[in-house]
Structure 1
Amino acid sequence: MRRVIGLQKFVHLHVHTEYSLLDGANRIKDLVKRTKELGMDSIAITDHGVMYGVVDFYKEAVNNGIKPILGCEIYTAKRSRFDKQGGWDADPGHMVLLAKNNTGYKNLMKIVSIGFTEGFYYKPRVDMEVLERYSEGLIATSACLSGDIPKAILNNNYEKAKELALRLNSIFGQDNFYLELQINGIEEQNIVNQQMIKLSRETGIPLVATNDAHYLRREDARAHEILLCIQTGKSINDEDRMMFSTDDFYVKSPEEMISLFGNIPEAISNTVRIADMCNVEMEFNKLHLPKFDVPDRKEPYEYLKSLCYQGFERIYGKEDRDEEKINRLEYELSVIKQMGYVDYFLIVGDFIRYAKEKGIMVGPEGVLLREAL
């Protein structure tokens, strides 16, 4: 049960684990344990640009009675994800995405993958076109000071911030996009918070409180500094090194967060509202294999069988109808079908066919499978 403080509860929705490489210092096991110690029963994972830790996080949370909220702090391209001009496109924005359901989880994986395969330029970036295409089932927040809306505010361009907020609200839908507030001792953050509250009042876009947790406890801030030094190749004695200017980026208790946002209670209650909306379920005892796109809408097993018989004829000749060989082929096919591996064999066979056609070397198993199919 969530710890009740008065009539309020709180859920961390912006959290970096060890999978935010050399940036997040929260080990998943320790993070889940700390969540329980603080009396919370939900917490999110929102690593920078990747989802490598999602499965470990999900399993650890569920095993400890914690509701896992699966997300990612993605990088947003200044222009198109295809624009990769030095000095202009190397500083992407940030945005937090949380999966509401399994459709949202699949869309989040797609967004993150596109960031790497199409938009990678220093960071895996996506653009508005990608967000518009894969917004279903997702909740978005405006992220930290590196978010596009906070950046516009700090550049004294409130109208641009408002225009962007309205566009994102349109993409994700009302109550699926939130303006993120943080209280962390940074003066620029205070400026952003004031404008975010104004923006919320003018547009009806709701507010949400987060703490952008990069480490577990306040006393871990020093260790996190060292982690950032390793990331940036700097010494702890370098004055110009990248560093957080306060030691507030830890997993704060519900009491701390509610006390900090006492004058903006809706930002706290919206964390619980969002957590209640996020319900992704993973299955681990079921085989998950992709479907092969069979030509001419043939049935996959019959297509595999026809390919195998074509391979049989290539190897043994059309005239060889040895009953023992044919019985063995039929037996092997029946095992593949029974085990549910028909599409798997078709996919791997297609990989190997393509590799052979392009002169790419394949292993001995690949050669055998290619000859068979």
Structure 2
Amino acid sequence: MSAGFVELCAHSWYSFGAGASSPAELVDRAGYYGYPTLGLTDVSNLCGALDFVQECRSAGIGAVLGADLTVREGDRMGPVTFIAENGAGYSNLCRLISLAYVTGGRTTPVLDVRFLEPHAEGLIALLGDPDGLLAADISAGHWSMAEGRAKQYAGWFGAGSVFLGLQQHLAHGDTVRNERMSQLAERCRLGCVATNAPWYHDTSRARLHDSLTAMRMNSSLSEIRNSLKVNCNYDLQTRDVMEQRLRKYPESLTNTLVLAERCSNFSALDFVTSSYRFPDVPTPPGHDAQSWLERLCEESAARRYGGVDRRVRERLDEEFELIRKHGLAGFFLVYHRVVELAREVMLELGWGHQETPLEWLPPGRGRGSSVSMLVGYLIGLSHVDPLDYGLALDRFLSSESTSMPDIDLDFPRDIRERLILRIIEEWGWDHAVLTGMFPTYKARGVIRGLGKALGLPPDELPGYAELVKRPGWDRLFALADSLQGFPKGVAQHPGGMLLSSTALTDFMPVQPAAIAGRYIGQWDKESVDDAGMQAVRLVRNRTGVEPDLSRIDYREKDVFDDLGRGDTVGVFQVESAAQMQTIVRMHPEDIYELALESPRYALA
């Protein structure tokens, strides 16, 4: 009778410098093999977790999430695999990964063993990796040390949540190690679990996996031969192959199904969606978020318009009602607080004066549909008066809106660099992080990196296009084609940040950035553009008057006369040769005509 098997410990290209397949490729192959469930345990990160979950959902396959972490015990260290059984386990896994980076090292994360016991709830620990401490102990015949370690993990995680892994890649030592692991499991009354711990979905990627390893170690394949896998059997295998290779240990195969079932009621995507909370902003005594936001807007409106007339009153009441209905008062106050912090930085840089109202000289620039909100204009999120331009609310927020509104705030580089640190200081490194991004391999970098891995002459690389048919070079080009688009690692987004009242480390690992004081979340977001406002300082220095940028006349005749003559050097978006020619022909007389002339130019 078939024992059954599902792979719980696959690695994707998010195991940077080792994984040689995308999550989609792994899921597609698992579906082809008829797997009801697939597990992903990338090295020291959950960067591909949500991508993997979505791929599994599309394929109708259950998703199990975990990670391989290097655990340090005294002066020894080795990998241990942790799998999240439920929400508590997923949160603990995120915290452990974060701790590995924060305390162990930004580029070589290592988790001290002392962190395991306090973060064991909801996690399943898989010991027995061929490179792990347990495997080393039993291989050396140190049974008492191995038994002590296994029982220690059982004490932390519970005997039912610790399993010894069995792997059979037809490599020297696999058979003996599996026999000893099985014996140790019996002595400690623990279960065994089978895994092929694949690094790619198909054997055709074995060479790419080796090359990635060499590139990560900045060496050639020949120089790191002892660090490479001994064969190409580290792919996602069929049930039949796994049942044949580990037929002496049928329980280890069945246990993969048992663990998959235990994890089946947990969805990381649903958990993350329900876990996130907007950051809290303190309000004065006697006010909640809604009443304080309304108070700020009323005071600003009095300054802006000289009072709250019927037109302003009707628009504010409409917006307040929408904000109240969708529970967005705290959302707007968070943005207001960010703008206040940016203003503090702006004043420190010598831009503006303390007595100038925030809404008069906002330090950042809102853009997109968010400029249609009068509330945003009044609390410094935008410099565009939506009443003056008759901007409708529906595109940004309506009574039928079901998703969170999107507010883009752009800051000058000098402000942004300091503001990032100020925000982290305000909310804490585990509540305020930079969004991650994943740079990918590009053609030239791929050729140079693979060329070194394959030991090809570096002096010939600049002319590689002529070498495609030479021996050795043909392998390079074949590998380069497979590698393009692979993520190289985690980098920081240029300016996007995540803020949360719930610790971000409850549902997303966080790691230090290359720049001191910054932290990166292990998920990526779309990029945002930079904006500049240094012209304000120049105007003040020359005229002694600080302009109210929120009251700029967008129909100023002298400005548009200059533009109509093609005098656009240094003017963003309209300084190219093509724009100079077009603007002279069209001679726009206000910002609306300018927007028609330049499709990229935006009112916001």
Deviation at 1:336, TM superposition (A): 2.7
> Deviations for 1:44-97, whole angstroms, at most 9, x for unmatched residues?
011001111111111111211211111111222344xxxxxxxx6xx7421111
2:261 aligned with 1:276, yes or no?
Answer: yes
TM-score normalized with structure 1 length: 0.82
Which of the residues 67, 73, 79 maps onto 2:68?
Answer: 73
Deviation at 1:349, TM superposition (A): 3.9
Aligned to 2:171: 186
**Paired residue type of 2:270:** E
> Deviations for 1:277-320, whole angstroms, at most 9, x for unmatched residues?
11222339968641434658989x82343155246537746xx6
2:26 aligned with 1:37, yes or no?
Answer: no
Deviation at 1:160, TM superposition (A): 2.4
RMSD across aligned positions (CA): 3.4
Aligned to 2:14: 19
CA separation in 2, counterparts of 1:11 and 1:186? 21
Larger mean CA deviation between 147-156 and 229-238 belongs to 147-156
**Unpaired segments ≥5 residues, structure 2:** 350-362, 368-375, 382-604
2:275 aligned with 1:292, yes or no?
Answer: no
**Higher RCO (Cα < 8 Å, 6 or more apart):** 1
Deviation at 1:261, TM superposition (A): 1.2
**Paired residue type of 2:364:** G
User: How many aligned positions are there?
Assistant: 356
Aligned to 1:82: none
**Unpaired segments ≥5 residues, structure 1:** 1-5, 80-87
Aligned to 1:332: 319
Aligned to 1:302: 288
Q: Percent identity?
A: 24
> Deviations for 1:187-222, whole angstroms, at most 9, x for unmatched residues?
344443233222211111111111110112334322
Alpha-carbon distance change, 296 to 233 in structure 1, aligned in 2, over 3 angstroms: same
- 1:291-370 correspondence to structure 2 within 5 Å: 291-293=278-280, 295=282, 302-310=288-296, 312-313=298-299, 316=302, 322-324=308-310, 325=312, 327-354=314-341, 363-365=364-366
CA separation in 1, counterparts of 2:378 and 2:27? 45
Larger mean CA deviation between 334-343 and 320-329 belongs to 320-329
Deviation at 1:19, TM superposition (A): 1.0
Whether the aligned pair in 1 keeps the contact of 2:281 and 2:334 (CA below 8 Å) is no
Aligned to 2:425: none
CA separation in 2, counterparts of 1:28 and 1:228? 19
2:230 aligned with 1:245, yes or no?
Answer: yes
Larger mean CA deviation between 328-337 and 25-34 belongs to 328-337
> Deviations for 1:329-353, whole angstroms, at most 9, x for unmatched residues?
4443332333343333344444454
Alpha-carbon distance change, 344 to 38 in structure 1, aligned in 2, over 3 angstroms: same
- 1:156-171 correspondence to structure 2 within 5 Å: 156-171=141-156
TM-score normalized with structure 2 length: 0.53
Which of the residues 46, 56, 65 maps onto 1:51?
Answer: 46
Whether the aligned pair in 2 keeps the contact of 1:8 and 1:269 (CA below 8 Å) is yes
Aligned to 1:215: 200
Which of the residues 104, 117, 121 maps onto 2:89?
Answer: 104
**Paired residue type of 2:98:** S
Whether the aligned pair in 2 keeps the contact of 1:15 and 1:45 (CA below 8 Å) is yes
CA separation in 2, counterparts of 1:348 and 1:93? 44
**Paired residue type of 1:290:** R
Deviation at 1:142, TM superposition (A): 1.1
Alpha-carbon distance change, 202 to 350 in structure 1, aligned in 2, over 3 angstroms: farther
CA separation in 2, counterparts of 1:137 and 1:298? 40
Secondary structure of 1:73 counterpart: strand
Whether the aligned pair in 2 keeps the contact of 1:49 and 1:123 (CA below 8 Å) is no
CA separation in 2, counterparts of 1:95 and 1:189? 18
Whether the aligned pair in 2 keeps the contact of 1:349 and 1:369 (CA below 8 Å) is no
Aligned to 1:113: 98
Secondary structure of 1:43 counterpart: strand
CA separation in 1, counterparts of 2:148 and 2:160? 17
**Paired residue type of 2:326:** M
**Paired residue type of 1:110:** R
Deviation at 1:105, TM superposition (A): 2.2
> Deviations for 1:112-144, whole angstroms, at most 9, x for unmatched residues?
233333432532233334332332222110152
CA separation in 2, counterparts of 1:159 and 1:284? 41
Secondary structure of 1:192 counterpart: helix
2:122 aligned with 1:137, yes or no?
Answer: yes
**Paired residue type of 1:302:** D
2:80 aligned with 1:95, yes or no?
Answer: yes
Which of the residues 112, 125, 136 maps onto 2:110?
Answer: 125
CA separation in 2, counterparts of 1:138 and 1:199? 21
Deviation at 1:9, TM superposition (A): 0.6
CA separation in 2, counterparts of 1:146 and 1:298? 58
> Deviations for 1:29-53, whole angstroms, at most 9, x for unmatched residues?
2211211222221110110011111
